[in-house]
Amino acid sequence: MGERWWLGADNPWQCLAACVEVRNALASGDPENYFSSLPVHQDGSCNGLQHYAALGRDESGGRAVNLVPIEQPSDVYTGIAQLVAARVEEDALQGNVQAQKLLKEVDRKLVKQTVMTSVYGVTFVGAREQITSRLKERGWRAEDDIYKTACYAARITLDSLHTMFSSAKHIMNWLTECAHLVASNGKPVAWTTPLGLPVVQPYRHRERHSVKTVLQRLIIVENSERLPLALARQRSAFPPNYIHSIDSTHMMMTATECYHQGLSFAGVHDSFWTHAGTVDAMNTILREKFVELHGYPLLESLLHEFQSELPHVAFPKVPQTGTLNLGLVRSSPYFFS
């Protein structure tokens, strides 16, 4: 354990495990051929936005989330912060009071949570609350200043996201509109993933029953398919749920191929793990499976499924796509890294 310097690492136990593994490899006398059992993880670069950019063949968005090969990794949070900073400087010169107060506050951390949750349908109110928390962490105390500045910052952060990921916004709006039409016709939103897994959104209004006993009062919540649909929830939850179904399909396709090739594999959302000796093979597999997955007409298949279920409903057309060459993912070193 030594002087326990490893306790100061970001992930102390992972750091200690790596140190023990290096020690054991050196002690083996043949470190190059030492069989390491330490998992090595590869993480997606803002994975939800990666899938949105791929669905829309969005060149600008794809570059921001490392779908194309570049010398240095793109950091989408820094990219959005730069767009926000430029907008704040411009507005400050024109006399915008909130922009002037925000001039020295715009950085990666200010916008990160909003960018991360944008793929899950964060609202303006949600973005405002997130930025409010960041401002309070920095010592802001005047509630009126915080509220007005957070409103301004939330609005331009969301605007910057829509500028960088224009196709994502169009696709998100299309998914929301389709969900609204399905739910308005008395059906829960349902679809089938590329692997054949049926998904049904369970959101319905709940009935609460109060039961009084001698000792206490109990609240019993009933969940039943006979209850009316929660229309707003069916609509707002569909875009993030659909993207989750796509990213989980990518993980399952990768896991299955790793199994067939004899690789150890574990994964949590967009973090894929294998051993050091097979990480290069896993990297090749996960890229091939991403390209294969998005080679399917995913949105067209989804639309056909909705039209088959509700042939009398006029669903909007699938949004137009850009010109991003998804094959470039195969040679993008920072796609997962």
- The one catalytic residue among 112, 169, 247, 289: 112
- The one catalytic residue among 58, 91, 247, 270: 270
**d(C-alpha 233, C-alpha 210), whole Å:** 25
| Residues across the chain | 337
Residues 6+ apart with CB under 8 A from 316: 174, 177, 178
| Residue 62 to residues 13, 28, 74, 328, Cα–Cα distance (Å) | 34, 44, 10, 10
Record the tokens describing residue 244, joined without a space: 């989750």
Tracing tokens 């793990």 back to the chain, one arrives at 273
Per DSSP, the three-state class of 94 is coil
Give the CB-side neighbour count of residue 88, counting CA atoms within 13 A: 23
Identify the sign of the CA torsion 47, 49, 53, 56: positive
Q: Are 253 and 195 in contact (CB under 8 A)?
A: yes
**d(C-alpha 306, C-alpha 189), whole Å:** 9
Q: Are 258 and 274 in contact (CB under 8 A)?
A: yes
Residues 6+ apart with CB under 8 A from 196: none
Our answer to whether residue 43 is catalytic in this structure is: yes
Our answer to whether residue 109 is catalytic in this structure is: no
**d(C-alpha 185, C-alpha 25), whole Å:** 63
Per DSSP, the three-state class of 26 is helix
Q: Are 233 and 203 in contact (CB under 8 A)?
A: yes
Active-site positions? 43, 112, 270
